[in-house]
Structure 1
Amino acid sequence: MELYAERITFSKKPISIPPEYRPSYTIGLIVLILKICCQSSKSSLLKLHLINWALKSDENRNSLKKFVLSNYTESSKTWGIEPSLNRALNYSVHEGICLISEGKYQLEEKGEIFYQKIIEDPEYLNEEIEFLKFLGKRKITDNRIESIYKKWKNQNA
């Protein structure tokens, strides 16, 4: 068997990483969720995970929207805990974008500045912002999420 190549070289190519696994994207979502959907820009971890889950796909968004529009009587899909969100939250706290106060994540001044930069770009995260504005600050409260979680836990445990 003959080898026709005199020299073989390898070059490193950039690997495409899905947006939901990019820390900058997830931190941007955290900032938007805290600012648009949370009283005093403060949220429980469960609420952040629920809304982050909803933002992952049209199907999840529609499921949460249907649940909200049914006055919380429709059943909603069970949402998951996303490790990449936890990592982005840790990074956000470390970088001073948000802090943990009384067990909740709260937007800091650096996060407010980040929020302003995000909304200045009319083409960045449009679908996400539109959905978050639909939810607003009062549709998905921490108390409601806690009761949904307890109901789900009791039914499925």
Structure 2
Amino acid sequence: MKEQELNIKKLSFTQRPIPIPADYRPMYKIALIVLTLRLCCRAETSNLLKLHLFSWALSSDKNISKLKDYVTSNFQTDFSVWSIEPALNRALQYAIAENICDVVNGKNYKLTEKGFKFYQMINSDTELFDKEKSFLTFIGKSKITDSRINAMSNQWNINYAEN
């Protein structure tokens, strides 16, 4: 464009309230990451795929029920692919930047002391994240291990690659 075509004398913006769903708010996702690391991960450390599994499960009551059924059936029911969402990846970046969690061995995420304090603050409010805390406590640290996550994701290749 030529310089003369850009003859703009005034440019203004009007801020309008736009509701952003909670699933896309970084602080909401960071809180879920903290709860997941504390309540469902040994040594408060997790790989990315496990964090995505729990983020997917917590995104709807249907997904919570599906994962609960899978666990209570001793991993015998059919379980399909879960979603990988960019909002979780962004929240992890913010959590690392704020020293809420650290990257360990280049691939796992670990809750820091600041993250633990954030967990205590969340946990002290009995109404905050009530459904999420109940579900994550039900799952606990021993029901869905990293080896179970790997086995589940390997099923993707077997069951869904050909379809």
TM-score by length of 2: 0.88
Q: Percent sequence identity over matched residues? A: 49
Shift of residue 11 of structure 1?
5.3
Give the one of 50, 63, 71 matched to 2:66: 63
Give the one of 119, 134, 139 matched to 1:135: 139
- Residues 92-142 of structure 1 show CA distances to partners (whole Å, capped at 9, x for unaligned) of 111110011022100001100100110111111000000000100001111
Q: RMSD of the alignment, in Å?
A: 1.2
Structure 1 counterpart of 2:18, one-letter code: I
Q: Secondary structure at the match of 1:67?
A: helix
Aligned to 1:4: none
Measure the CA separation in 2 of the matches of 1:127 and 1:77: 23
Structure 1 counterpart of 2:155, one-letter code: K
Please tell me whether residue 153 in structure 1 is matched to residue 153 in structure 2: no
Aligned to 2:42: 39
Aligned to 2:115: 111
Q: Secondary structure at the match of 2:109?
A: strand
Give the one of 123, 129, 140 matched to 1:125: 129
Shift of residue 66 of structure 1?
0.5
Shift of residue 37 of structure 1?
0.3
For the Cα contact (< 8 Å) 2:80–2:156, is it kept in 1? no
For the Cα contact (< 8 Å) 2:40–2:140, is it kept in 1? yes
Measure the CA separation in 1 of the matches of 2:84 and 2:14: 37
Please tell me whether residue 18 in structure 1 is matched to residue 36 in structure 2: no
In structure 1, list runs of 5 or more residues that go unmatched.
1-9
TM-score by length of 1: 0.91
Stretches (4+) displaced over 4 A: none
Aligned to 1:80: 83
Residue-pair matches, total:
148
In structure 2, list runs of 5 or more residues that go unmatched.
1-12
Shift of residue 15 of structure 1?
1.2
